[in-house]
Structures are given as C-alpha cells and as structure tokens.
Amino acid sequence: MTRSLSGYTLRLRRFDPESGKGPYWQEFKVELEGHRSVLDAILKLRDEVDGSIGIRCSCRQAICGSCGVRINDKPGLACHTHLERAAQAASEGSRVIQVEPMGNMPVIKDLIVDMDAVHWKKIRRVTPWLINKQPVPEREYIVSHESMVDVTQSMGCIQCGACVSDCLSMEVDPEFIGPAQLAKAYRFVGDPRDARQYERLKDLAEDPHGIYDCTHCWMCIDACPKDVAPMSQIMRLRRLAGSEHQIEDRNNGHRHEHAFTENIARNGLLHEADLLSDSYGGKLSPRAVPVLLGSLPVILRALMRRKITLGHALLHPYRRRYKDLRQLFESIERRERRYELNLYVSGYDGAEPAQAAGNGPAMVATGTSGVGAGQAPREEGEDI
C-alpha cells in the first residue's frame, strides 16, 4: 500500500549570528505524509533545499530530548509532532506550521538554543545526584518498590527543556530555578536512599527563586511531552518542606500556605484582609508593615470606591455559617498518614476515566503500576 503525500508549509524562524542580521521568518513548502514528523520535514528541507537550516536532533523517537522547539506557539518535540496534527493546530485555519526556537533561552542559530546557559546550569543548581545515606551497604541498597514509585514520574524527564521554554515565572524572573530543575530536585528529595532530604528542601525553600517562586500556572504540565508534570513535583516539594518539615522560609512560602489554610478553617470563605498580613506573620510583624504601608494607596482607593467596606475588611460576614468546618480540617490533619493520590501512578478505575469537567472522557490514563487501591499513603517521617 502506498501512502499519499501531502503538501505542507513550514514557517521557520531563522537567525544566523554571523550574518549580522536580526532574526526573520522564512516559509518553505514540503511534501510528506501527514503522519511524518515536523522534524522529518525540517531535515528534508535541510537535505534538499537549504543546508544552512540549524536544528539539534539525535534519536528521532522522543527519547533523547534534543529537538525541543516551539510549534504553533507551543513547546514540544519536533520528532514527536505529526505534520497533519500540527497543520490542523495552526492559527486561524492557515495550516501554516510555525516553528521557532524555545523561549527563555538564548538562540545560538535558527532553532538551536543555548541549553547550557540556562537549562543545564540550573539543573546543576539542584545537586542532581544521590547523596548516600551512611553507612553505605556493602552491596546494593534494598528499597521497597512502593517507596520508589513516588519518584517515577519525575524520573521520566528527558531534559528537552520544553517546560523551561514557556515557564511564566522565568519569563519575569530569569533567576527562577525552573520547572525541569525542580522536578529533578524532587527525584532526589523523594528518593528513600538520599540522606539530605531536609537540607535540599531547606535550600530550595529559602532561595528567593526556588519552590515558592513558581506561580502555579500549569504551563509546564501542558508543555511536557513525557507527562512529568513539573508543577505537581514543585507542589510535592512545598508539601514536604512546609507540612512535613515545618521549614519557615524567608519568602513567606510556608507562612502563606499556613495562613491560607487557617483562614479557611476559621472563616469558610477566604478573608483577604487577614490573609495578606498573616502571610507576612501578622499585621504588626516587621515583614508585614512595609508591605501594608506600600499597599495603602490601593487599599484607600478600594475603600473610597466602596469596593471594600471597613466592616468587611475587619470582620467576616460569612464566618458564622462555617463554625463546624474546623472539625473537618482537624479530622484530616490529625491523621497519622497523609493521603496523596497521584493519578500518574495509580491510573483510573475502570477502562474509561471519569467525565472531565462535564464533557465526557478527556483524559488518558498514564499509570504504569497500581499501588493497592490507587492510594499512595506516605508514612510521616518514613525512613527506609
């Protein structure tokens, strides 16, 4: 059986630092089957049309992570994106496949970015190796399967940089450690053989560009071609740093999380006026005063416009409806074991996932190994 060829238009962002010219867009036509990859098309163009097109690639099967680019404004692997699918996703029905280098990293040439200057430098920042517990056993460490399952998701990372490319925290704070990097950090923090869980967490919590600098925008979760969900790993790091190790960081990260939770236990609905000051340690805390003073102009304006009333800011009109809520908080927080469900690990009951936000199946179960009923209870202070 022969497969039919289709014509595709690729719009590549070109840049050659030696030319002395700025970056520009160039369109190419290519004929290939729709199931072939964007990388196949670019390599065909390089072989047959313009040998100067620069792209980095190696395995061509979504394992090596070399060909990270942005396709139609979204980061991904060129080798892992079908031409037809990319044409369908092109803006406003144009079918023009736009390919550009990844973001948040300097461009070396055409589609090649300097991974070393940003990605790898930041990976080194998180001490990406195991620091053995002592004494080192004569032969191998024996750890239970269950205790390693937790880190399998972060081990799936192929270091392609797609999440770094579109990280919105890094866009405004280039010093942010980064999503792939913090996922890598969790890989060792969550490893039962590592001896430095507390020190790693303390370091990442205290860094102004560490775990509390992530803005929780979900961008890295959608960007990752390997379902690593870096943001979820960052939340696990926060949960361990705050709830388990009670690390009081200088960035108000744990304080904010604690203030928020306590605010809801007390009020049922968020009381914003309290949250702001409590996140800094209370209205009279030395950390809170400058922030509150700095916010005074907007607070006054909000009061003047009757956006906020003084009564509402000081009291909470809804609080009395929720007086039984604290009991629910306490019953869960008192548990000896903290329940965490990671669907990447546990998968979904039955063949079909439940309705996603009310419009039928939209999720794919990626679980590789079930753990009992799907729950992965963490033993507090578990030591293996």
Partner 1 sequence: MRVAYWPGCVSRGFTPELHGSMAKVAPLLDIELVEMDRAACCGAGVIAEHNQELADTLNARTFALAQQTDGELMMNICSTCQGAQTECQQRLDANDAYRDHVNETLASEGLRYERGLTNKNFLWLLVEEIGLAALQAKVTRPLSNLRVGPFYGCYIVRPMDQLGIDDDHPRHRYLQWVIEALGGTVVDYAGVYKCCGFPIITMNREASLRQAGRHLGDALDADADCLVTPCPLCHLNLDLQQPLAEKVIGRELGMPVLHLPQLVGLALGLEPRQLGMSKHVVRPASVIDWSAAVVGARADAQA
Residues 294-313 that bind partner 1 (CB under 8 A): 294-295, 297-298, 301-302, 305-308, 312
101 is written with which tokens?
């280098």
Q: Report the site for partner 1 in 119-148 (rule: CB under 8 A).
A: none
Nearer to partner 1, 4 or 359 (CB): 359
Q: Which of 222, 245, 248, 285 binds partner 1 (CB under 8 A)?
A: 222
The stretch near partner 1 (CB under 8 A) out of 33-41, 109-117, 153-161, 358-366 is: 358-366
Q: What is the C-alpha separation between 164 and 171, in angstroms, rounded? A: 9
Sign of the alpha-carbon dihedral angle for 226, 231, 233, 234: positive
Residue that has been written with the tokens 């996932």 in this structure: 353
Q: How far is the CB of 56 from partner 1 (least distance, A)?
A: 26
Q: Report the site for partner 1 in 34-53 (rule: CB under 8 A).
A: none
Q: How far is the CB of 200 from partner 1 (least distance, A)?
A: 18
Q: Calculate the alpha carbon distances from 88 to 34, 42, 91, 343 in Å.
A: 11, 18, 8, 30
Asked if residue 264 binds partner 1 (CB under 8 A), the reply is yes
Nearer to partner 1, 48 or 324 (CB): 324
Asked if residue 242 binds partner 1 (CB under 8 A), the reply is yes
Q: Calculate the alpha carbon distances from 247 to 128, 189, 240, 252, 285 in Å.
A: 21, 15, 9, 10, 18
Asked if residue 340 binds partner 1 (CB under 8 A), the reply is yes
Asked if residue 272 binds partner 1 (CB under 8 A), the reply is yes
Q: Report the site for partner 1 in 159-218 (rule: CB under 8 A).
A: 168-169, 171-173, 176, 208-209, 212-218
Q: Which of 18, 136, 331, 383 binds partner 1 (CB under 8 A)?
A: 331
The stretch near partner 1 (CB under 8 A) out of 104-112, 148-156, 182-190, 245-253 is: 245-253
Which residues face 68 on adjacent strands?
77
Asked if residue 356 binds partner 1 (CB under 8 A), the reply is yes
Nearer to partner 1, 29 or 250 (CB): 250
Q: What is the C-alpha separation between 255 and 249, in angstroms, rounded? A: 8
Q: Which residues of 166-186 are buried (b: 16+ CB within 10 A; e: fewer)?
A: bbbbbeeeeebbbbbbbbbbb
Which candidate, 139, 141, 140, places its Cα nearest to that of 192? 141
Q: How far is the CB of 78 from partner 1 (least distance, A)?
A: 20
CA dihedral 260, 261, 267, 268 (to 10 degrees): 110
The stretch near partner 1 (CB under 8 A) out of 56-64, 127-135, 182-190, 323-331 is: 323-331
Q: What is the C-alpha separation between 378 and 156, in angstroms, rounded? A: 21
Q: Calculate the alpha carbon distances from 365 to 9, 218, 355 in Å.
A: 34, 19, 13
Q: How far is the CB of 285 from partner 1 (least distance, A)?
A: 12
Q: Which of 6, 9, 243, 285 binds partner 1 (CB under 8 A)?
A: 243
